[in-house]
Chains A and B, each alone.
Chain A
Amino acid sequence: MTLAETPMQRERAQTIFEKSKPGRRAAVLPPAGVPEPPLSELIPAKLLRDEPPRLPEVAEPEIVRHYNRLSRRNFDLDTGFYPLGSCTMKHNPRLNERVAALPGHARLHPAQEPRRAQGALELCWLLQESLAEICGLPHVSLQPSAGSHGELAGLLLTRAFHADRGEARTKVLAPDTSHGTNPASVTMAGYEIVKLATDERGGIEMDDLRAKVDDEVACLMLTNPNTLGLFDENIAEIAALIHDTGGTLYYDGANLNAVMGHSRPGDMGFDIVHVNLHKSFSQPHGGGGPGAGPIAVSERIEPYLPRPQVVRRADGNGSGSSFDLDFDRPKSIGRLRGFQGNFGVFVRSYAYILSLGADGLAEASETAVLNANYLKARLAQGRAGKYVPIAFDRHCMHEFVLSGKPMKRELGVATLDLAKRLLDFGFHPPTVYFPLLVEEALMVEPTETETKESLDAFAAAVEQILAEAESDPELAKQAPYTTPVRRLDEVKATRHPVLRQPL
């Protein structure tokens, strides 16, 4: 298909550095107001820089225009449906941005004395209590900066827990459907990953688990519902197997949005849970962060939690309470990062929890599950059902996985092609080629904040793309056509990396 270039395609990419001209500037700084000797009188010359870094020289109007134009070259959740599996692209309430920007939050220095940061510490404590209740585990550390950071924390906690008992275990189990962060965290924490097979219902293959559980196993990392969007019905037995051999059970909370107020990881037997505040608790994804990955843990893991912990202390006279940072934790694994964590994210997520409350959180998960099952039902019909069938045909939780294998075999159209063609229809594609277990996988997570009309429109687009592909598969294979740029050469970017603007 040949199309005329769109206006945005005609506008060739130009970096801010290429718009620079000597003599242009935006910033005007306040006068020094103090003596201004040459810097070499204050700092030895060999410690000084000869030439300033070649930052762009551009006036403010051009900077604003540059980044506004750049922004228009992004697709975003506020513009359209974004069913990226495992990412929970739910609406980001603007109220949360407003409260995070209050000076009492935004301009609070992290080293402020606790007694002058009581509001912030109370907010942290309230969020800890809320997450503890949602996860069904008694203790929470807000410190980890994202899910992967929470995973690393969980494995270091596991190591400390075993070390305290004089044990040194070497292996961590995770299913073959696990997120890539799981095995990467395992290696980083100094363990060896052992993969578990998946059974025909999409859960852990129990015989494989029984064969691999021994006293060398430190931990089993699990997502439940798993990355196929299916609840592992054997979880109680799995937990018993791990606990009986002295291991810990770790819950990757990426899929917590399926079960809030319906089922709790702690009640399932998990010892450590991370919560992605940028998924279930509406922190905007920011193009790849910031997020936060607080962890909730059982009683036996608590002594090892990172330092410092936000705590509530009863006042001396017993009449009230105050909040503090507790550094006196002799068995702690120590810090995972600077200061107290991604507090700005905590403000947004706590605002979200306050807005929804117990009933709203349960309703959010219920609607997420309803939306996913509805879209799954819609995509089981017509051409979608034929070419991209469901990988494990049972009710799903908040997401489901399709396989593009028949589409590839019969039409020569790969999952990637379908994804790229969806871009022309104004949709963000699902997560593709994950989980690895499913050939030509498409992982679809609509979330609760989408309307039925959006889901119907998406299903209709998939149907239309497959109909087109029956008569002209090239249409999908050359897609997209309408995006700011067309299919990009990723191999070239890796073989001959250009990672900065040459100046």
Chain B
Amino acid sequence: MSRYTSATPADRAEMLAAIGVESAAELFEQIPEPLQLGRPLALPAGISEAEVFERLAALAARNADAERQVCFLGAGMYDHYVPAIVDAITERSEFLTPYTPYQPEISQGGLQAMFEFQTAMSELTALPVSTAGLYEGPSSVASAAYLAIGATGGRRRLVVSRGVHPHSRETLATYSAGFGAEIAEVGLADGLTDAAALAAAVDGETAAVFLQSPNFLGAIEDVESLGEAAKRHGALLVAAVDPMTLGVLRPPGECGADVALGEGQPLGNRLDFGGPSFGFFCGSEELIRKLPGRIAGETDDADGRRGYVLALQTREQHIRREKATHNICTAQALNALAATIHLAWLGREGFRELGELLVRRTAYARERLAAVEGIEPLHGAPVAREFALRLEAPVGTVLERCAERGIAAGYPLGRDYPEHEDGLLVAITERRSREQIDALAEALEEAIRVERDDLLSDSDKKSSQAEAVGR
């Protein structure tokens, strides 16, 4: 169905005449005949706007989203409240429909927004330089490895804590198969990176040490102490952080991190089943000319007015081609804008208050859930907004029972950590009220009780059968 085009038959006739051809088909004759499709695509015919809407609404209705389930899922993406002004501003044509600001004179809005984003992320991480953003969290981790290899003169060993998000570790491995790096993983002890094992793993060939705080199990790492191993051997210290915790947790820049990065979704971005969001990427002064992707910088125009441009473009693929610091081109500008607006809306005080709210509700939830019969904390380390539990019943069936009560109780750790088949990761946001936390506790209690009763009666049956056989 012809859609979004304007050429009338009369227009077409005039245009073809101007080109000097009889038909548009003639223009396609440069495609050798055997390579012309010569048939319609095997796709349905186009449909009306109303029908498309109904079709997609019907698909959307088959998803248990956070409006239909109380969502305690986290694992890197969180159900925060996105203030109305974020949508109102990001939906504006002027932000939604331009492309990369290659013509700065007519892109000052987007460029200044990038500059403000960089300022905000630099403040959050306490590192002096922020890029305008990468795709998302895990690929940002892999990008830091590429940077570190270059920055350390070609060292190729990467030491990675097992507390780093499993998707980040897997993405790092995927990328490393390309640029060539060896990955050494350091395990966890009581929820935290094993400091002695980490120190032993780092050597003079190590390009970077990767930590995450709070780590995947929710535990707040002592990045500064752990990072000493990196400092001793001249490796870069890369800290993946949850931006929403940085109003209250010590920022990576104060812990000696050379690079701080992470998943930006909690800042002003919807869940969107995993994307689009953005990755933030901040670094020390020394790394300024090695950073990946766009960076906006301040300058003057011909009359001396303050203005903004894409700075340090000689790092980038469109200028440097095979010598570029990264291959990234289109990134996530609109998502970074959403974060900038959200952070301005929260403001200095609101951002800190939100961090405190998360820590206190999380402390309450952890204590409340750990008091449930059949649940204990998976580790004793301090937490900020997410925590891990151990269930004395199969996690899958417990989750299913909770889902039947309209609660997504959390993330089953067994998906990524075989050693924690009994583990459940529970995330808290400002949208998860005390009442919802209490309801989660009740749902888990009930589910575990039923499962244990089933298990007990199963084993009763088995033992009575055994007795029967023995007799």
List 4 additional A-B contacts (Cβ < 8 Å) besides A105-B60, A451-B7: A17-B116, A76-B94, A359-B1, A503-B123
Q: Tell me the minimal C-beta distance from A76 to chain B in angstroms.
A: 4
A373 touches B331 (CB 8 A): no
Select B321's contact among A133, A180, A355, beta carbons within 8 Å: A180
* A338 neighbours in B (Cβ, 8 Å): 76-77, 136-139, 165, 167-168, 171, 263, 274-275
A288 touches B330 (CB 8 A): yes
* B35 neighbours in A (Cβ, 8 Å): 235-236, 263, 267-268
Q: B348-397: which residues lie under 8 A (CB-CB) from chain A?
A: 348-357, 359-361, 363-364, 382, 384
A287 touches B273 (CB 8 A): no
Q: Mind listing 19 A-B residue pairs with CB under 8 Å?
A: A58-B344, A60-B85, A64-B89, A82-B98, A130-B43, A180-B329, A259-B31, A262-B28, A287-B110, A291-B330, A335-B167, A337-B139, A364-B3, A378-B18, A485-B306, A488-B301, A488-B307, A492-B300, A494-B314
The CA of A196 and the CA of B232, in the complex, are separated in Å by 46
Q: Tell me the minimal C-beta distance from B40 to chain A in angstroms.
A: 5
A52 on the B face (CB < 8 A): yes
A287 touches B334 (CB 8 A): yes
B98 touches A77 (CB 8 A): yes
The CA of A9 and the CA of B2, in the complex, are separated in Å by 42
Q: List the B residue with the shortest CB-CB distance to A367.
A: B5
* A230 neighbours in B (Cβ, 8 Å): 30
Stretch at the interface among B66-74, B194-202, B204-212, B452-460: B66-74
A355 touches B309 (CB 8 A): no
Q: List the B residue with the shortest CB-CB distance to A267.
A: B35
Select B89's contact among A68, A149, A397, A488, beta carbons within 8 Å: A68
Q: Tell me the minimal C-beta distance from A339 to chain B in angstroms.
A: 3
* A49 neighbours in B (Cβ, 8 Å): 246-251, 254
The CA of A177 and the CA of B77, in the complex, are separated in Å by 40
B56 on the A face (CB < 8 A): yes
Given the known inter-chain contacts A57-B348, A112-B64, A338-B168, please indicate yes or no for A120 contacting B222, CB distance below 8 A. no
The CA of A155 and the CA of B348, in the complex, are separated in Å by 44
A24 on the B face (CB < 8 A): yes
Given the known inter-chain contacts A49-B246, A145-B136, A284-B97, please indicate yes or no for A357 contacting B45, CB distance below 8 A. yes
* Contact-size category for A: 35 or more
B234 on the A face (CB < 8 A): no
Q: Tell me the minimal C-beta distance from B253 to chain A in angstroms.
A: 10
* A262 neighbours in B (Cβ, 8 Å): 28, 31, 36-37
Q: B17-43: which residues lie under 8 A (CB-CB) from chain A?
A: 18-21, 24, 26-32, 34-37, 40-43
A290 touches B276 (CB 8 A): yes
Given the known inter-chain contacts A187-B323, A489-B299, please indicate yes or no for A70 contacting B109, CB distance below 8 A. yes
Q: Tell me the minimal C-beta distance from A465 to chain B in angstroms.
A: 15
The CA of A397 and the CA of B109, in the complex, are separated in Å by 33
Q: A213-247: which residues lie under 8 A (CB-CB) from chain B?
A: 230-231, 233, 235-236
Select B63's contact among A54, A104, A186, A289, beta carbons within 8 Å: A104
A500 on the B face (CB < 8 A): yes
B130 touches A106 (CB 8 A): no
Q: List the B residue with the shortest CB-CB distance to A185.
A: B327
B171 touches A334 (CB 8 A): yes
* A361 neighbours in B (Cβ, 8 Å): 41, 43
* A399 neighbours in B (Cβ, 8 Å): none
The CA of A49 and the CA of B94, in the complex, are separated in Å by 37
Select B324's contact among A184, A291, A362, beta carbons within 8 Å: A184
